[in-house]
Amino acid sequence: MSELLARISDQPLDPAVVDAAVAGPAFGAVVCFTGVVRNHDGGQAVSLLEYSAHPDAERFLTKICTEVAERTGLPVAAIHRVGELRVGDLAVVAAVAAPHRAEAFTACAELVERIKHEVPIWKRQHFADGLSEWVGL
């Protein structure tokens, strides 16, 4: 397997970078998940999100990617964005490659769920009415 890609970034995300980190001639399936900022949550219009990360967030992300890769034997990669994101921006990109699609889908779903629940990243949702709320604190 190639070098593991697990990064927290304040720059716009490029799914091709994450895809390239896992793709290879032995893999017939690459599953790439992109988490996109949507324009609503809980019935309220969302205008933007602010993501903040704990200083050790990248270490947590690397640990998760390593554990999923070791458990499955598959290459995995993920980048999570921090800072202000507008509707349509990518907040997270994760990918897994496998010889067949079923194992790639399963491993990618596990990877994304673990990132969401274990990496210390918090978001502040700004609503169109001027109110905001923190999520994940």
Assigned CATH topology for domain 5-135: Aldehyde Oxidoreductase; domain 3 (3.90.1170)
Cβ(107)–Cβ(46) under 8 Å? no
CB neighbour class for 121 (10 Å; exposed up to 12, middle 13-18, buried from 19): buried
**What is the arithmetic mean of pLDDT over 56-84?**
98
In the chain, what are the domain boundaries?
A: 5-135
pLDDT of residue 136: 73
pLDDT of residue 135: 86
pLDDT band at 88 (very low <50, low <70, confident <90, very high): very high
Is the model's pTM score more than 0.85? yes
